[in-house]
Chain A
Amino acid sequence: MDRRSFLLGCGGCAVMPERFTRPEAQSDEGGLWAYMDRDEERLQRSPFLIRDPALNAYVSSIACRLAGDHCPDLRVYIVRTAQFNATMAPNGMMQVWSGLLLRAGNEAQLAAIMGHEIGHYLLRHGVERLREAKNRAATGQVLSIGLGFFQLLGAAVSSLAQLGLAAGGLAYGRDHERAADRIGIELMARAGYAPAEAARVWSQLLEEAPAEQSILFATHPPLAERKEVLAEAAARLGGGHVNAEAYRERLAPHRGAFLHDEILRGHYGETLVLLDRMPPDGEVLFYKGEAHRLRGELQAAAAAYRSAEAYPDAPAELFRSLGLVQRRLGRSPTRAFTRYLELKPGAPDAELIRAYL
């Protein structure tokens, strides 16, 4: 019995395959690992790697809980990239993008996505993609499809990983995604997470952007089918915890930077849906104001900024933005600008704000 049938053959009681050993360097799988090893070395030097030990330990511990005996073979990297995504390479390198951390509402939702990626790893989908790609290479399909995908993605992964992934004929096929979904939800439940969150995380994404606009849904199974399958599995598996509070606390030191990156995507409508889903606080309401301001909705922006003022955690920049909006609306920005300078006298734009006053 090969590893794949071992994992799948149990029908709802996923049994882990044995830990993988490094493939022969001369084999196609060994070549793929070598690609990924080199890419991992580059990733380790990236200024966009989030190195906060506390956050890394937290996210790695989730991966470990999901992966069980495979935990020692996994290396998790948190990458500052605003898009919602996680990847898992055959050599055990997992990337979790900050856009995913921002969008997951709790630990169980993050575990759902990581469990899905670990599912690809356990089923060795990477090498299957490589072999499919070899067959397609003769027809010239791989390069054009792969490049298109990565241009859309604005990917953080560097060229070697792109090559490796593109060589897989462009992400995983829908059969692979279905299989990874099945394994992922089993791993979640086994680790004690609420499996119902797996369907919820996809529903949330769909609320932000219609399916046809999202590349995530291009290669993944249709959402209706996916939700149905995941919901059925969740009903069968039941229970579990979500760990929302712990998740929020761990993310808190980074959330402002992640929200700033999110605003820079320029998809303000999606950002507003995301922010409406979050419990309101000074930071959330400030960024809500920013999204409205950048959409030219000055009254809505001012209202959001004023709501944010009530929270002690509101960033000082709130008063700068409020003053700029009031200036545009023909109202006096004096109080807001003065407050901004009180809170941040050494702000990089203090010189200009003083000139306004």
Chain B
Amino acid sequence: MRLLLVLVLLAGCSTMERVEPGRTTIRDELTVTADARWNRIEGGRDGAEVWTADGTALDVLAFYVGVAEGETLGAAPSEFAPRFRPTMSPHDIVELYEALVTQEGSEFRLERLGPAGFGGRPGFVFEHTTVMREGPALSGIAYGTVAGGRLYLLSYTAPRRYFFEKNLDQVRSIAASALITSRENEASASP
């Protein structure tokens, strides 16, 4: 049985519910297996399902599930925001992600981009450092793939020291367990 928690986060009040260890389906399309407890932010954030281990001020695990052609990653800040296209390469998707995290003028530095399976399909992984206007520098890792013309992306970010490392193995394990279950996504493409 899920225990509903109402936690007061550093960044404000959010309603969260606990995600127990085991298999979980996200937005009916992506299943993942977690071997530790996480907390799910009710309603998500900017179009993504968001989990956190210690509060969103300390770590954020975001699942962008089935981003369709013409959609932005996250809430569109303006008409100029770049939009997803199914023909995008992993490099293009990193740029899409960079546009999302630099909306407030943050600095994004790509540390690594390589091939990696995700969702049971060929995909990619990238690591980055993001320096915010206000607040600590963040480390991040993201796994993604394009399947059936739609984007599936898991992104984990946390302050560089301690918190990023603390949950990194769990995040890698969750990414490795991810499976895209939507039937329309049988045909896959990427990288």
> Bound pair: A and B?
yes
Residue ranges of A at the interface with B (Cβ–Cβ < 8 Å): 46-48, 80-82, 154, 156, 158, 264-267, 294, 296, 320, 324, 327-328, 348-349, 351-352, 355-356
6 A-B pairs within 8 Å (CB atoms) are namely A156-B133, A264-B99, A265-B80, A296-B85, A320-B91, A352-B115
Tell me if B89 and A327 are in contact (CB < 8 A): yes
Q: How far is the CB of B57 from chain A (nearest CB, A)?
A: 18
Q: Name A264's contact: one of B89, B102, B111, B137 (CB within 8 Å).
A: B102
Tell me if B113 and A349 are in contact (CB < 8 A): yes
Select from chain A the residue with minimum beta-carbon distance to B79: A266
Within 8 A of A (CB), among B97-149: 98-99, 102-105, 107, 110-115, 124, 131, 133-134, 137
Q: How far is the CB of A320 from chain B (nearest CB, A)?
A: 8
B87 is an interface residue with CB less than 8 A from chain A: yes
Tell me if A48 and B105 are in contact (CB < 8 A): yes
The interface residues of chain B lying within 8 Å CB-to-CB of A80 are 107
Select from chain A the residue with minimum beta-carbon distance to B108: A264
Query: In whole angstroms, what is the CA distance A296 to B87 when docked?
Result: 11
B81 is an interface residue with CB less than 8 A from chain A: yes
Query: In whole angstroms, what is the CA distance A352 to B191 when docked?
Result: 9
Query: In whole angstroms, what is the CA distance A48 to B102 when docked?
Result: 13
Query: In whole angstroms, what is the CA distance A109 to B98 when docked?
Result: 32
The interface residues of chain A lying within 8 Å CB-to-CB of B113 are 348-349, 351-352
**Given A81-B105, A154-B104, A356-B191, 4 extra CB contacts under 8 A:** A294-B95, A328-B87, A352-B91, A352-B113
Query: In whole angstroms, what is the CA distance A190 to B95 when docked?
Result: 46
Tell me if A324 and B95 are in contact (CB < 8 A): no
Select from chain A the residue with minimum beta-carbon distance to B103: A154
Q: How far is the CB of B101 from chain A (nearest CB, A)?
A: 10
The interface residues of chain B lying within 8 Å CB-to-CB of A264 are 98-99, 102
Q: Name A351's contact: one of B78, B107, B114, B137 (CB within 8 Å).
A: B114
Q: How far is the CB of B79 from chain A (nearest CB, A)?
A: 9
DSSP class of A's interface residues: helix, strand, loop or mixed?
loop
Q: Name A156's contact: one of B95, B105, B111, B131 (CB within 8 Å).
A: B105
Tell me if A324 and B112 are in contact (CB < 8 A): no
The interface residues of chain A lying within 8 Å CB-to-CB of B91 are 320, 324, 349, 352
Tell me if B105 and A355 are in contact (CB < 8 A): no
Q: How far is the CB of A290 from chain B (nearest CB, A)?
A: 10
Select from chain B the residue with minimum beta-carbon distance to A356: B191
Number of contacting residues on B, CB 8 A? 30
- The answer to whether A352 and B90 touch (CB under 8 A), given A47-B131, A48-B105, is yes
Select from chain A the residue with minimum beta-carbon distance to B90: A352
Tell me if A349 and B115 are in contact (CB < 8 A): no
The interface residues of chain B lying within 8 Å CB-to-CB of A47 are 107, 131, 137
Tell me if B112 and A351 are in contact (CB < 8 A): yes
Tell me if B112 and A46 are in contact (CB < 8 A): no
B74 is an interface residue with CB less than 8 A from chain A: no
> 10 shortest A-B CB distances, which residue pairs?
A351-B114, A266-B80, A349-B113, A355-B115, A348-B110, A352-B113, A47-B131, A348-B112, A352-B114, A264-B102
Tell me if B110 and A267 are in contact (CB < 8 A): no
- The answer to whether A48 and B80 touch (CB under 8 A), given A348-B110, A352-B124, A352-B191, is no
Query: In whole angstroms, what is the CA distance A348 to B80 when docked?
Result: 27
The interface residues of chain B lying within 8 Å CB-to-CB of A348 are 110-113
- The answer to whether A351 and B87 touch (CB under 8 A), given A264-B102, A266-B82, is no
The interface residues of chain A lying within 8 Å CB-to-CB of B92 are 324
Within 8 A of A (CB), among B20-64: none
The interface residues of chain A lying within 8 Å CB-to-CB of B98 are 264
Tell me if B82 and A294 are in contact (CB < 8 A): yes
The interface residues of chain A lying within 8 Å CB-to-CB of B78 are 266
Query: In whole angstroms, what is the CA distance A46 to B106 when docked?
Result: 11
The interface residues of chain A lying within 8 Å CB-to-CB of B102 are 264
- The answer to whether A48 and B133 touch (CB under 8 A), given A352-B90, A352-B115, is yes
Q: How far is the CB of A289 from chain B (nearest CB, A)?
A: 14
Tell me if A46 and B89 are in contact (CB < 8 A): no
Select from chain A the residue with minimum beta-carbon distance to B124: A352
Residue of A48, A80, A156 contacting most chain B CB atoms (<10 Å): A48
Query: In whole angstroms, what is the CA distance A266 to B102 when docked?
Result: 11
